Amino acid sequence: MLTADLFFQELVRLNNLRPRRPTLLMNTENVEWANSTYFCKNVYWTFDTSKSNDSLFLYNCYLTVKSADCDYCLESELCYECTDAYKCYNCNYLNHCENMRDSYFCTWSSNCHDCFGCINLKNKSFCIFNRQLSEAEYKQLLPKYLAWKPEDVLKEVGTLGHRFPWTQTNEQGNINSSFGNYIYYNKNCYLCFDASKNENSGYLYDAHDNKTCFDIDSSGECQLSYEVSDSTSLFNCDYVIWSGHCQDSSYVIDCGNCKYCFGCTGLKNMQYCILNRQLTREEYERIVPLLQAEINSRNFGWGPLKY
């Protein structure tokens, strides 16, 4: 009879038999010098990034296109030297901004376009250092300020920033999701960080488009899942590391397109497996409920498993 102790002992052995991946890349094309990069194309020197194209020097970005030197940018395009930018287009040197277009050196601003060196603006356009200008005046003065050295502009913006309070959290468009930071358009979520478009979830970090999930990091598009890391497109899974497109599975590592797997590593396109051994559906459904009940009753969690 397979007990919880024997299960974890064998799972640790299986995990130790597999060589560790030098880099974590999934469904990428023409990707060099990258790690923890998923579903990306034509990116260079990119880390903790997914679904981004034609970019370089990115860290922790999601759905970012034709951009460079950006950190924590989401759904943005044609951006350079931006940090914590959400839905921005053709912008340079933004910091904590949302829904910006054709703007430069702005901080804590949202829903603006054609702004330069502004702080804490909402729904504005054609402003330079928070001064409202006409469209003609803005276009006349912009080349002059664009010729400044970046450090000179940032110094001026820093001086301007002393006139405004700094909020302790960064959030936009959330519903009943008060606890967390850098959260955008989440609904009924609790203690989320660097997260967007999640629903009915909690304890998320660097997570996007998840529903009814808890204790997840660096993962997206999962449903009904718990204790997940570096994974995508899971359904009803728990204790998962570096796996994608799996369902109804537990304690799986580096698996893809699997369902009804329990305690497996390195499997692809498999079902009804326990500890990498193929079983019949009847055998699987007889063993797993008993094993899972013992693991839960003893509150094993991850057990001795390390990755």
DSSP-assigned states of every residue in 47-88 = EEEES-EEEEEEES-BS-BS-EEEES-BS-EEEES-EEEES-
Phi first, then psi: what are they for 122, rounded to 5°? -130, 130
Report the pLDDT value the prediction gives residue 168, as an integer from 0 to 100: 80
Are 176 and 213 within one domain? yes
109, part of any domain? yes
Are 89 and 191 within one domain? no
Residue 164 has pLDDT above 90, yes or no: no
Are 125 and 181 within one domain? no
Stated pTM of the model: 0.88
Report the pLDDT value the prediction gives residue 177, as an integer from 0 to 100: 93
Q: How many domains does the chain have?
A: 2
pLDDT > 90 in the chain, percent: 90
What is the overall mean pLDDT for the chain? 95
- Could you give the CA distance from residue 288 to residue 259 in angstroms, rounded to a whole number? 13
* pLDDT band per the 50, 70, 90 thresholds, residue 4: very high
- Could you give the CA distance from residue 252 to residue 302 in angstroms, rounded to a whole number? 11
Domain that holds residue 155: 23-161
Residue 307 has pLDDT above 80, yes or no: no
Contacts of 193 (CB under 8 A, 6+ apart): 180, 181, 182, 183, 204, 205, 206
Are 64 and 185 within one domain? no
12, part of any domain? no
278, part of any domain? yes
What's the rounded mean pLDDT across residues 277-302? 96
Are 177 and 202 within one domain? yes
Q: How many CA atoms lie within 13 Å of 215's alpha carbon, on the beta-carbon side? A: 10
Are 38 and 125 within one domain? yes
3, part of any domain? no
- Could you give the CA distance from residue 56 to residue 44 in angstroms, rounded to a whole number? 5
Of 135, 161, 187, the one marking the end of a domain is 161
Of 161, 194, 213, the one marking the end of a domain is 161
pLDDT tens digits, residue range 238-274? 999 999 999 999 999 999 999 999 999 999 999 999 9
For CA atoms 173, 61, 193, 210, the dihedral sign is positive
What's the rounded mean pLDDT across residues 195-219? 97
Q: Is 164 left (phi over 0), alpha (psi -120 to 50) or beta?
A: beta
1, part of any domain? no
166, part of any domain? no
Report the pLDDT value the prediction gives residue 181, as an integer from 0 to 100: 93
* pLDDT band per the 50, 70, 90 thresholds, residue 18: confident
pLDDT tens digits, residue range 35-90? 999 999 999 999 999 999 999 999 999 999 999 999 999 999 999 999 999 999 99
- Could you give the CA distance from residue 216 to residue 35 in angstroms, rounded to a whole number? 19
Report the pLDDT value the prediction gives residue 47, as an integer from 0 to 100: 96
Of 116, 134, 161, the one marking the end of a domain is 161
Residue 212 corresponds to which amino acid? T
Residue 133 has pLDDT above 90, yes or no: yes
Residue 289 has pLDDT above 90, yes or no: yes
Report the pLDDT value the prediction gives residue 20, as an integer from 0 to 100: 82
5, part of any domain? no
Report the pLDDT value the prediction gives residue 16, as an integer from 0 to 100: 93
120, part of any domain? yes
What's the rounded mean pLDDT across residues 153-166? 90
Contact 6, 17 (CB under 8 A): no
CB neighbourhood size of 2 (10 A) = 16
